[in-house]
Structure 1
Amino acid sequence: MLQKPRICILGGGFGGLYTALRLESLVWPDDKKPQVLLVDQSDRFVFKPMLYELLSGEVDEWEIAPRFLDLLANTSVQFFQDRVKLLHPLDHSMGKSPTISCGGRVQLDSGRLVEYDWLVLSLGAEPKLDLVPGAAEFSLPFSTLEDALKVDSRLKALEREKFGKDSLIRVVVVGCGYAGVELAATVAERLQDKGIVQAINAESIICPSAPPGNREAALKVLSSRNVQLFLGYFVSCIRKAEKSEAHGELILELRPAERGLESQILEADLVLWTVGSKPLVPPLDSCNRPLMFPITGRGQAETDETLRVKGHPRIFAIGDSAALRDSSGKLLPATAQVAFQQADFTGWNLWAAINDRPLLPFRFQNLGEMMTLGRSDAAISPSFIDGLTLEGPIGHTARKIAYLIRLPTDEHRVKVGISWLTKSAIDTIATFQSTLSNAISGS
């Protein structure tokens, strides 16, 4: 009896997990349904676009970070919690021949050696904290579940420490892309009059790649929450404050990125870092020549239009791990929307390759852009209605519905949907009771 195809997926983010679920949903001939193995260093899938809601208290951890074993319980997908140590690809000289006995091997930190026929690289990226002296030592990134929990813990500690005192909590957000703006808006709403939030960006505008409607909505919210913007500046240094240096625990030295601006010194109790990222592509075994695995200067694997790594027909790369250009020659952004769509194509192309069918070229369809701006604020610019931006509570509700639909499994969607409806009902009742109580006391 022929051995079933073995597919190893490295990384359980939007690209990796959703590829595994797509493979599970397809109809396979009995002798060709693959054995699928998903490897991730964490035991949980994290719905990263909603990490901000952990800080605002709008969602619970289980809702946006379910365990892989729970998500995959009703599937044939195996899950290993482990780290990737080395790749041993064996398909670089085999062309497209279906007769090779093994596409390669993956060596894990635990010592386990996994043989695969097909490999999917979807390891995501990690924050790049070596851009500025002191960033690694004195700032907190905001990229993973662990990061979000650390930031929440630090904010709680500062809230206790400053409670009843005249001094304000000082938070500085480095970077005003989507992540920085969403983080600044969320933290400012949480702290209200107990803190000062400042945000720094090297460019002269916030969210330079965002649709104008989203940018304008964000500026309105940041202004209403008194977030101080330092645009046209870059951070040259982060250091511990001396005892003689006033209020904050940390000092940020800013240098102008544009003419006409003067250097600035900011004080902070907490620095949140959202600038720069480094794709995670595992190293090759030393016996493989570096040119056998094409890597860009940014550290991404170069792929063809079917999402296969160039020169390696048995290896697919998606999400942050892949460098793929659109029809205009522009590199696709490293967003959840791109990874989600690539997962769908990768699952299909793996089915096609195993069943000797033609592979499909990936075409990204921009569905629009969304950003959270707090517990009842968001901005959505759908691509199919030119110039439309949904803001405030309407945008907030639309964003939550869109993300509820994108949660990984039907079972998890139902559980989260019930949880969110219950919370909404409780909040509505509490608001009604408060309004009624105020009306009675006023009369």
Structure 2
Amino acid sequence: PHIQTPPRLRHQLLPHRRRSQMAHAVSSLTSSTLFIRQQFQSRKLFQRPSRGCWTNSRQFSSSAAARRGIRVVRSDSTGGGYGGASEISESESKASGYVWPDGNKRPRVCILGGGFGGLYTALRLESLDWPEGKKPQVVLVDQCERFAFKPLLYELLSGEVDEWEIAPRFSDLLSNTAVQFFKDRVQSLHPSDHLGMAGDTVSRSAGVVHLESGLLIEYDWLVLALGAETKLDVVPGAVEYALPFSTLRDAHRVNEKLIHLERKSFGNDSPIRVAIVGCGYSGVELAATISERLKDRGVVQAINVDKSILPNAPPGNRESAQKVLSSRNVQLLLGYFVRCIKKDDTTESHNNERYILELQPAERGVESKVIEVDLVLWTVGSKPLLAELEQSDKPIYLPLNGRGQAETDETLRVKGSISTGRFCGLESLGCNKWPTSTAV
């Protein structure tokens, strides 16, 4: 007889609408070329048997490319028109311009950021029907070589998935498309005076992207999908001593730290103490996963400035999450914010770094607290990763709202005179069919 695995905490915590959106996103990507090779199927994401182990050494082994010091991945623009990536060493990287396969005969679209927004945009442009000679040439740039399905990063900590299941390589995902991929970082953006308003010369492109490797990419349309990163510089000591949990690299660092603490605590009675700052969906999921992993060997404390967990969630989800955390002995420190994080210097001689968190109450009349932990995880706040635009010797900045996001109009074109945007003027590219409502 088959033993039914208890439902994952995720399905107890996430509201039905959010789970439906996640499933729809995976289903949409599955129907596109992203999942042609069937390496990243939605059934595998949401229906897996438990493996009963916490770590997998393959997740953290260094690749041959990393051992050779390879930093840049340059797309192959020759051959049969399919996308791909060839690795070159940093010493071989020289400042040069990317040569588009068809020059400027077809629209050139440069997408910065390989998250869901950037990757889905590239695949959607690839799959649409275009008039002859109008199908855009697409380049995708991301600082990582893998696409990370972030809602399931927690399961790397529980050992229920291998890295390739939730973080396949871009080179594999795009191998059957004409999309070109570059593993690189954006150094600066230079929009062109394509209207000729600053002089007599009119540029033939909308601008140029400068990458840290020295590669220059001319574009006609620019998609900004850089996303955001965890904002750590909000309290003293957070940058130095707290670990974020929002990227694949973050998940690796947290897992390696937990492995180190588990090995050191083996055979002694001292529990592993973990503090998680923030009790939104990310913080609650992380607290539940780590407490399930450590069991009696650890103490997990979750800190939140609000008097409850998941303050913006429906009451039913909040109650379910409360029961799960209580069943796993997660200690909740509600109504407190972190004033500062310090390193406990008295533990250095024992080769066991510990950290001191000073907690300030959000309301008057409540005493402050001081806790000592082995690991601090930060899940509060984020900041956009938008690059500055530069033109000649005069820097041009994107118009930003109060949250640091680019201000756009109803077509997702960045407001202002520059012809760049998260997605600008798609109808001008000459697409025959474009859905009236598309999530990019």
Deviation at 1:288, TM superposition (A): 7.2
Q: Aligned partners of 1:312 and 1:361: how far apart in 2? A: 25
Secondary structure at the counterpart of residue 316 of structure 1: coil
Deviation at 1:21, TM superposition (A): 0.7
What is the aligned partner in structure 2 of residue 74 from structure 1?
176
- Return the match for 2:409 from 301, 304, 308: 304
Q: Aligned partners of 2:343 and 2:112: how far apart in 1? A: 39
Q: Structure 1 residues 248 and 31, CA, compared in 2 at 3 Å: closer, same or farther?
A: closer
Aligned pair 1:206/2:281, yes or no?
no
What is the aligned partner in structure 2 of residue 13 from structure 1?
115
- Return the match for 2:162 from 45, 60, 65: 60
Kindly provide the amino acid, as one letter, of the partner of residue 167 in structure 2. Answer: A
Deviation at 1:243, TM superposition (A): 2.5
Q: Aligned partners of 1:175 and 1:187: how far apart in 2? A: 15
Deviation at 1:316, TM superposition (A): 2.8
Residues 340 and 358 of structure 2 are in contact (CA less than 8 Å); yes or no, is this contact kept in structure 1?
yes
Kindly provide the amino acid, as one letter, of the partner of residue 180 in structure 1. Answer: G
Aligned pair 1:48/2:150, yes or no?
yes
- Return the match for 1:263 from 354, 360, 368: 368
Q: Aligned partners of 1:277 and 1:101: how far apart in 2? A: 37
Q: Aligned partners of 1:299 and 1:194: how far apart in 2? A: 41
Q: Structure 1 residues 156 and 220, CA, compared in 2 at 3 Å: closer, same or farther?
A: same
Cα displacement string for residues 103-150 of structure 1 (whole angstroms, at most 9, x for unaligned residues)? 111111111111100000001111111111111111111111111011
Q: Aligned partners of 2:132 and 2:391: how far apart in 1? A: 38
Q: Structure 1 residues 116 and 170, CA, compared in 2 at 3 Å: closer, same or farther?
A: same
- Return the match for 1:34 from 123, 130, 136: 136
Deviation at 1:361, TM superposition (A): 7.3
Aligned pair 1:249/2:354, yes or no?
yes
Q: Aligned partners of 2:434 and 2:164: how far apart in 1? A: 37
What is the aligned partner in structure 2 of residue 220 from structure 1?
323
Residues 248 and 267 of structure 1 are in contact (CA less than 8 Å); yes or no, is this contact kept in structure 2?
no
Q: Aligned partners of 2:410 and 2:285: how far apart in 1? A: 32
Residues 56 and 186 of structure 1 are in contact (CA less than 8 Å); yes or no, is this contact kept in structure 2?
yes
What is the aligned partner in structure 2 of residue 352 from structure 1?
427
Residues 228 and 385 of structure 2 are in contact (CA less than 8 Å); yes or no, is this contact kept in structure 1?
yes
Deviation at 1:358, TM superposition (A): 11
Deviation at 1:30, TM superposition (A): 2.1
1:42-191 alignment to 2 at 5 Å? 42-90=144-192, 101-191=204-294
Kindly provide the amino acid, as one letter, of the partner of residue 160 in structure 1. Answer: R
Q: Structure 1 residues 70 and 358, CA, compared in 2 at 3 Å: closer, same or farther?
A: closer
Q: Aligned partners of 1:154 and 1:292: how far apart in 2? A: 39
Task: Tell me how large the CA RMSD over aligned residues is.
Answer: 2.8
Q: Aligned partners of 1:167 and 1:83: how far apart in 2? A: 43
Residues 305 and 361 of structure 1 are in contact (CA less than 8 Å); yes or no, is this contact kept in structure 2?
no
Seq. identity, % = 63
Q: Structure 1 residues 288 and 120, CA, compared in 2 at 3 Å: closer, same or farther?
A: farther
What is the aligned partner in structure 2 of residue 419 from structure 1?
none
Residues 306 and 361 of structure 1 are in contact (CA less than 8 Å); yes or no, is this contact kept in structure 2?
no
Q: Structure 1 residues 244 and 155, CA, compared in 2 at 3 Å: closer, same or farther?
A: closer
Q: Aligned partners of 2:239 and 2:309: how far apart in 1? A: 24
Secondary structure at the counterpart of residue 23 of structure 1: helix
In structure 2, the gaps of 5 or more residues are 1-101
1:226-237 alignment to 2 at 5 Å? 226-237=329-340
What is the aligned partner in structure 2 of residue 382 from structure 1?
none
What is the aligned partner in structure 1 of residue 58 from structure 2?
none
Q: Structure 1 residues 7 and 249, CA, compared in 2 at 3 Å: closer, same or farther?
A: same
Deviation at 1:313, TM superposition (A): 7.0
Q: Structure 1 residues 358 and 127, CA, compared in 2 at 3 Å: closer, same or farther?
A: same
Q: Structure 1 residues 213 and 288, CA, compared in 2 at 3 Å: closer, same or farther?
A: farther
Secondary structure at the counterpart of residue 123 of structure 2: helix
Q: Structure 1 residues 94 and 169, CA, compared in 2 at 3 Å: closer, same or farther?
A: farther
Q: Aligned partners of 1:284 and 1:88: how far apart in 2? A: 6
Q: Aligned partners of 2:272 and 2:155: how far apart in 1? A: 20
Q: Structure 1 residues 127 and 350, CA, compared in 2 at 3 Å: closer, same or farther?
A: same
Q: Aligned partners of 1:234 and 1:133: how far apart in 2? A: 12
What is the aligned partner in structure 2 of residue 332 from structure 1?
none
Cα displacement string for residues 13-68 of structure 1 (whole angstroms, at most 9, x for unaligned residues)? 01101110111110111210010000011111111111001001111100111000
TM-score of the pair, normalised by structure 2: 0.70
Kindly provide the amino acid, as one letter, of the partner of residue 103 in structure 1. Answer: A
